[in-house]
Structure 1
Amino acid sequence: MRDSTDAGYRAPVRARVLVAVLALATMLATMLAVMVMAPATARAQPVEPPVLADAVAAGTLPPMAVRLPEAPRVVDLAAQGKRVGQPGGRLRTLMGREKDIRLITVYGYARLVGYTPDFTLRPDILRDITVEDGRIFTLHLRPGHRWSDGHPFTTEDFRYWWEDMANDPVISPSGPPPELMPHGAPPTVEVIDPLTIRYTWDQPNPLLLPALAGARPLELYRPAHYLRRFHARYTDPETLDRRVQENDARDWRALHYIKDRWYRNTNPERPSLDPWVNTTEPPAQRYVFRRNPYFHRVDPTGQQLPYVDDIVIDITDGKLVPAKASAGETDLQSRYLSFDNYTILKSAEGHAPIHVSLWREGQGSSVALFPNLTCSDPTWRGVLRQADFRRALSLAINRHEVNQVVFFGLGRESNNTMLPESPLSSPYLTTRYATFDPDRANALLDGLGYTARDHRGTRLLPDGRPMELIVEDDGESRPRLDTLRLIQDYWRAIGVRMYIRSFSREVLKRRVYAGSSIMVAAPGLNNGLATPEMPPTELVPVAQDMWQWAKWGQYHETRGEAGAPVDMAAAQRLLDLYGAWMRSTSRAEQAEIWTEILTLHVENQFTIGVVSGGKQPVVRATRLRNLPETALYNWDPGAQFGIHGLDTVFLAAPETVSDEAAAPADGAG
């Protein structure tokens, strides 16, 4: 990606060169569309993936030199500490629910732009993208790129989504997604030619690129050639009505939605740009994802990726996954495994053909406490809004003991903030009010006037009730529950009696949204690896799904129609800073804003982190190569296995496995 502020850039000269280049690209794309089933041209003729060789020989599939884009993305394996692989084979994994087949879209991580393992953004599906003034984004497609069914991928697919979906009042009653309306107004969209499209806003849009690179990304395009047949604008009413009835849909809008579920992988007929494409109609107990013969990436030798031909998902009881992984019934597994399974998994290495690694979680804290500053109880709301009260609770926690007892000393004792791997991290953010100091905690509570106690030594609230603080969680994490039981003792020592209640996640959400919950225990920041260019959304009251200020977030999301307005100075300052970040155009400015936001958080202890850097067990078959031995495991950014290049992993020949170390440290850690 390039920015117009690069030294030597001159827009008029570049524009003339761009027009000439695009004219040539368009001509090449047109020629390639005509010759799609013809023999390969003068381009190099790399070796076909063996599984596709028969189809190519029979003429039912074009040769690889025709299937690939004119300029495929060449994956630099050496830079990632990987080796050139061998194509073929079937990779098995286990899921506890059918809906989890969506994770193949996550793991495959084909995005318009995507993150590298060091969280740098770079073009992926796109050949290039240019950004001017932070508000003009010009997307350049790869000439000759095709959907999984062989149809050309062009800007018509972007136009269809923008005009016939995002701005169709039937399909999208609320209009385009918020990432395209950063300041309340949509962009001007120009389809320049079949390979170039431009989005222009009046003000900067720093949300766009991170959204495109997300684990569940913003989708700016659709397979127009496929979906038109389910759209009222392109299909006669009689035919469309017949299709609605055949698919048991409510109306054509529902039919279009059913046919378009790319992320969830529930329609095997829908063309895709992913490395693997679902071939199984749900419901099923086994799903088979087969390689996309038109996938746009190659290795340095010209071999088309992915290396693995098929990914097979077996649906099983999630509680059985650790045992099945220990028995070698999966080739790659992290889902449904937790740190407390590690000992059993590791002991199975000598009996099953598996290797077990521990990857580092990318959350701001493995366990965090969220005081609900918008709870409905007026007394508790007043108490929780006192910064010294929150600081006292944090200082009373013996994080070192929690780390040793619950996390075997492998975690980092820290606030809920950026991890050391983030350029925004600092020792100050990690340790402020996060050292064990019960004497100071008691002094802060005394200073707030909470000196009266009941016969058990529990401090009293302003209304005379004992300080009995109920902390709620979803009951899904044993390490979190063990941590809470230790915190019970720490807080009792300063006169705050804590009780633990568990609810299902959905019930817990409803309680928080309604203001019934006083405090919630959950994982901390989803993204503890942020860079200045990433939105600080998690740290600002702009969304309802934030445990510490759900009603403020709801008010922002609904533009004042529900929830409650921010009525706390420090939280209002966060909103002001977020507005400044949304208008920012330079990395330095964004970093300065991020730093103030993070400082406000640790000073105010809006959330109370305990231990970060938790470990995620990753089980892989000993045959599986090109997977890092250690790496960061994060949802967004990261897409879990996604940024580590699942399309580059391969299964070594059985006869070579015994000749190598059982667990070679492939890939970058």
Structure 2
Amino acid sequence: MMTWLRTAPLALSLALSPILACTFFAMPARALELQETPYFKNQDRTLPPVAERLPSTPLVVDATGEPGGEIVTLVPRARDIRYISTYAYTRLVGYDRHLELQPDLLESFDNQDDMVFTFTLREGHRWSDGTPFTTEDFRYYWEDVALNKDLSPAGPPEFMLVDGKPPRVEVLDERRIRYTWDTPNPRFLPQLAGPIDPGIYRASKYLKQFHAKYADEASLDEKARQQKLKSWAALHNRMDDMKEQTNPDLPTLMPWRVTNAAPANRFVFERNPYYHRVDRKGHQLPYLDRVLMDVSAGGLFAAKANAGETDLLFRGLTMSDIPVLKEGEKMQGYRTLLWPYARGTELALYPNLNAVDPVWRRLNRDVRFRRALSLGIDRNTLNNALLFGLGTEGNNTVVPESPLYSPELRTLYAEYDPAQASRLLDEVGLTERNGAGFRLLPDGRELEIIVETDGDSSLVVDGLTLIGEFWREIGVRLFVKPQDRTVLRNRAFAGLTMMVAAPGLDNALPTAIMPPTDFAPKRQDNYAWPKWGQYIETKGMNGEAIDVPEAKRLAELYEAWMGTADKAEQTRIWEEMLRNHAENQWVIGTVSGALQPIVVRNGLRGLPEKALYSWEPTAMLGIYRVDEIYWNKAAGKEARR
């Protein structure tokens, strides 16, 4: 057995300890002994001194790095450079490592019962081009983008509507803005802290030159036509590209700004001279001067890391890459961190409760059928085969680090018991079998479950092959049907799937203040109840109304969570929803706890050795603050490039 396999259980035990602390301080810039960044000293450019580039009250972090250097990472395609806005994690408010909300771009925020939110900006804060960051940027977004039918035909984003009503937005002065709802909007702050910044502000001074309210519409339309766009609005939306990172001219508040556009084989992100964070020694963050993203085929990521062609790499690597990565460590001078992935389950089965086939609809809605399928899975064998025995077997639920975790909900109806599974299938009425030993449906068809998957994950496909063997013992045939993800989603939305296999709960590390959206039939992208979610999303225009009592209860609990600012009540609601899921097996979980490999060049410091990895709420590496990553120059390991 390889060394990494022998040591992984210890790594897991360490990684599952309480999340490391990270401290922020409120300290005026004048109280710090500010240090000019060498990168800007050496550049032939005219910049104000660092004291004039920082806000009067910068965000002071308890970090002890050294400025300078650059890192190389990989992306599978040009469009994926956009993920830097996730893991660079610059937000109005963001989660710290205890998953508590803290002001980031904001100097402070005041929350009155989740109904009145007052934001205070940092005095003197500037965009990367030196223009002031003020409440005009918030007003511009709200009045001139979100409420402009040309730019936002669907209106304001859904998380800013409560009972279909938008907030009252008041600009109090150039540093303070207030959002008021008549009833609680507990989703507001968690949405702002999410892995995708909803961007309720814009670089207004830059964007006004592309807005018909502030520039000549005919001239803008002509510019749009020159770029093969239909109107000024399309031109504005192309220039207003906070998430995609395709417009190098657009000012940013992130630690690095993109300096070139596609087509390119390498994208260069350069440090933001007006970034608002600083360490206690007076060094302006980020520590790294540049982030270089090379475009490479995703299938070559592990090989390129093994060959020493990257300094930091995580997205695009999977647990199956670990042996290759470990082999190259000594020769190429890097280490491979192994962080548990905080996901509900690596392989989940989604019986379609909205299947159009009446026989399958009736079966999938019978809780005895769903429990039988769960009890018929040998999760220990799956764990050994898929996760080297290092995973956690059980339901699709939250991980132990979540304050909402309950051990019994991980194992309820999730232990291997083929005898009980067979009894439940008999109770359902599936007693008849054919000559091959497979059960027959009431209409005489063989009980063959076609499990559809997007085929992107070999783990999912391999796991389904094993589950097929387990289910054979209880008289159920499984057929795996990989296909294109878009086709799969359209089939599910139309009710044509029997069952879908995909990863489970994306945020398995929730706290009570995070909305339980994934646990309620509110969205059509949940393969278990696409038509119920469609009905909610289209306000009854499409889909089907929820007609299963236990699922209706989930919807009621979600609305109750939405209507309260009481944290104790939010916790109670979460706990009931989690139990409802375990008892009803809406989604059948298998095994969780895959390890996410993170390749880190020797001498690169700032990341914890052990931590949890997830899309939400950690924003991949986001809450661990990649702007604090630095080269240990004393070790002689500064970037070679």
- TM-score bracket for this pair, using the shorter chain length: over 0.9
- Corresponding residue number in structure 1 for 2:37: 49
Decide which of 506, 526, 531 is 1:551's aligned counterpart: 531
Q: Is the 8 A contact 2:334 2:599 kept in 1?
A: yes
Determine if the alignment matches structure 1 residue 590 to structure 2 residue 570: yes
Decide which of 41, 48, 51 is 1:65's aligned counterpart: 51
Could you tell me how far apart the structure 1 residues matched to 2:257 and 2:248 are? 7
Q: Could you say what secondary structure the match of 2:348 adopts?
A: strand
Could you tell me how far apart the structure 1 residues matched to 2:624 and 2:227 are? 38
Determine if the alignment matches structure 1 residue 190 to structure 2 residue 175: no
Determine if the alignment matches structure 1 residue 135 to structure 2 residue 135: no
Give the letter for the 1:241 counterpart: D
Residues 43 and 357 of structure 1, relative CA distance in 2, 3 Å threshold: closer
Could you tell me how far apart the structure 2 residues matched to 1:584 and 1:513 are? 31
Decide which of 413, 418, 430 is 1:433's aligned counterpart: 413
Note the C-alpha offset of 1:42: 6.2
Note the C-alpha offset of 1:406: 1.6
Note the C-alpha offset of 1:655: 4.5
Give the letter for the 1:195 counterpart: R
Q: Is the 8 A contact 1:45 1:64 kept in 2?
A: no
Q: Could you say what secondary structure the match of 1:351 adopts?
A: helix
Determine if the alignment matches structure 1 residue 263 to structure 2 residue 249: no
Note the C-alpha offset of 1:656: 3.5
| 1:587-631 per-position Cα deviation (integer Å, ceiling 9, x unaligned) | 100000011111110100000000011111111111210112121
Note the C-alpha offset of 1:249: 2.2
What's the Cα RMSD here?
1.5
- Corresponding residue number in structure 1 for 2:630: 650
Could you tell me how far apart the structure 2 residues matched to 1:237 and 1:581 are? 45
Q: Could you say what secondary structure the match of 2:110 adopts?
A: strand
- Corresponding residue number in structure 1 for 2:9: none
Determine if the alignment matches structure 1 residue 86 to structure 2 residue 74: no
- Corresponding residue number in structure 1 for 2:428: 448
Note the C-alpha offset of 1:239: 3.1
Could you tell me how far apart the structure 2 residues matched to 1:240 and 1:448 are? 65
Determine if the alignment matches structure 1 residue 529 to structure 2 residue 515: no
- Corresponding residue number in structure 2 for 1:17: none
- Corresponding residue number in structure 2 for 1:76: 62
Determine if the alignment matches structure 1 residue 327 to structure 2 residue 313: no
Structure 1, gaps ≥5 residues long? 1-27, 29-40, 78-83, 659-669
Give the letter for the 1:73 counterpart: L
Could you tell me how far apart the structure 1 residues matched to 2:512 and 2:600 are? 34
Q: Could you say what secondary structure the match of 1:498 adopts?
A: strand
| 1:523-549 per-position Cα deviation (integer Å, ceiling 9, x unaligned) | 100100011100110111111111100
Determine if the alignment matches structure 1 residue 159 to structure 2 residue 139: yes
Could you tell me how far apart the structure 2 residues matched to 1:67 and 1:153 are? 12
Note the C-alpha offset of 1:45: 4.9
Normalising by structure 2, report the TM-score. Answer: 0.93
Give the letter for the 2:40 counterpart: L
Could you tell me how far apart the structure 2 residues matched to 1:597 and 1:625 are? 40
Q: Is the 8 A contact 1:387 1:604 kept in 2?
A: yes
Residues 657 and 54 of structure 1, relative CA distance in 2, 3 Å threshold: closer
Note the C-alpha offset of 1:453: 0.6
Note the C-alpha offset of 1:478: 1.6
- Corresponding residue number in structure 2 for 1:392: 372
| 1:358-392 per-position Cα deviation (integer Å, ceiling 9, x unaligned) | 11111111111111111111111110100010000
Note the C-alpha offset of 1:238: 3.9
| 1:172-197 per-position Cα deviation (integer Å, ceiling 9, x unaligned) | 12211110003211100100000000
Decide which of 135, 146, 159 is 1:179's aligned counterpart: 159
Note the C-alpha offset of 1:43: 6.4
Give the letter for the 1:371 counterpart: P
Decide which of 295, 312, 331 is 1:351's aligned counterpart: 331
- Corresponding residue number in structure 1 for 2:192: 212
Note the C-alpha offset of 1:410: 0.9
- Corresponding residue number in structure 2 for 1:5: none
Determine if the alignment matches structure 1 residue 281 to structure 2 residue 255: no
Match runs of 1:123-522 below 5 Å = 123-522=103-502
Could you tell me how far apart the structure 2 residues matched to 1:268 and 1:498 are? 50
Q: Is the 8 A contact 2:605 2:631 kept in 1?
A: yes
Note the C-alpha offset of 1:44: 4.7
Q: Is the 8 A contact 1:45 1:65 kept in 2?
A: no
Give the letter for the 1:69 counterpart: P
Could you tell me how far apart the structure 2 residues matched to 1:334 and 1:306 are? 19
Could you tell me how far apart the structure 2 residues matched to 1:125 and 1:499 are? 51
Note the C-alpha offset of 1:59: 7.0
Could you tell me how far apart the structure 2 residues matched to 1:102 and 1:564 are? 35
Give the letter for the 1:118 counterpart: H
Could you tell me how far apart the structure 1 residues matched to 2:221 and 2:437 are? 71
Match runs of 1:543-582 below 5 Å = 543-582=523-562
Could you tell me how far apart the structure 1 residues matched to 2:412 and 2:36 are? 57
Match runs of 1:563-642 below 5 Å = 563-642=543-622
- Number of positions where the alignment pairs a residue of Structure 1 with one of Structure 2: 611
Give the letter for the 2:566 counterpart: S
* Structure 1 moving runs of 4+ over 4 Å: 41-45
Structure 2, gaps ≥5 residues long? 1-27
Note the C-alpha offset of 1:246: 4.1
Could you tell me how far apart the structure 2 residues matched to 1:146 and 1:431 are? 51
- Corresponding residue number in structure 1 for 2:17: none
Give the letter for the 1:230 counterpart: F
Could you tell me how far apart the structure 1 residues matched to 2:587 and 2:32 are? 57
Q: Is the 8 A contact 2:32 2:281 kept in 1?
A: no
Note the C-alpha offset of 1:357: 1.5
Percentage of identical aligned residues:
49
Could you tell me how far apart the structure 2 residues matched to 1:549 and 1:341 are? 34
Give the letter for the 1:388 counterpart: R
Could you tell me how far apart the structure 1 residues matched to 2:506 and 2:162 are? 22
Normalising by structure 1, report the TM-score. Answer: 0.90
Give the letter for the 1:362 counterpart: A
Q: Could you say what secondary structure the match of 2:488 adopts?
A: helix
Q: Is the 8 A contact 2:162 2:181 kept in 1?
A: no
Give the letter for the 2:56 counterpart: E
Q: Which moved more, 1:620-629 or 1:223-232?
A: 620-629
Q: Could you say what secondary structure the match of 1:350 adopts?
A: helix
Note the C-alpha offset of 1:156: 0.3
Note the C-alpha offset of 1:119: 1.2
Q: Could you say what secondary structure the match of 1:228 adopts?
A: helix
Note the C-alpha offset of 1:244: 2.0
